[in-house]
Amino acid sequence: MKVVSGLYPASARSWLIADGYYETPRDNERYPYKGSGSTDGTREYCRGQGGVEWIDAPEPNYFFQTEKWNRMTERVEDGAWMLLLDPDERMMGNPGSLARGVDYVPIKVIDPEGQVMYYIRLLRKTRGMVWTDWSTVKSPAGVEVGLYLGNVSEQVYISHSRPFRNSPK
C-alpha cells in the first residue's frame, strides 16, 4: 500500500509505503502466504526511487487490513493528501487532474478482464481519522465515509444539456 503525503499534487514530496500481508480474508489461491513481508523485490525497488519512507511488515503479520491502514495513516500529517495504491496497481493518466476542492476523490479501477469498480483512493487526512474497516474512514466527530463505490454502471448516467463551467476549452 502506498500513500503519498504532501499537498497534492504539486508539492507531493514523499511516498510512505507500508509493507505487510494481512490475513483476513485469506485467499490462498490468489495470494499464497509467503511470509509477512514482501518477497518480490518491492522494498529494494522503492528504496531506489528516493523520497520513500518504508514501514516494515510486523511479525506476525497484520490480522486485518484496518491495522495496516491505521498504522500508515498515523504517519501522515493532518491535511496531507493520501493516494492509496496496492502494489499490483499502476496509476494511469494524469493524477494532477484529480485535484479538486473536496477531501474525497473517487478513481476508476479496472482489472485485467475489464471489470470496473470505483473507489475513493485520493483523500485528505483529517485529524484523528481512523479506518473502521477495509473501505470506511471515521472522523473523531463520528462521521463515517465509505470509500468503496462499487461497480457503477457506465451505461446509466446523467446527460447534462450544456457544457460544465469547468470544461476545458
Helix (H, G, I), strand (E, B) or coil at 112: coil
Give the residue with greater pLDDT, 120 vs 157. Answer: 120
Condensed to tens digits (0 to 9), the pLDDT of residues 138-165 reads 999 999 999 888 776 666 667 778 777 7
Q: Quote the CA–CA distance of 38 and 22 in Å, as a whole number.
A: 12
What pLDDT does residue 90 have? 75
Question: Is the overall model pTM greater than 0.85, yes or no?
Answer: no
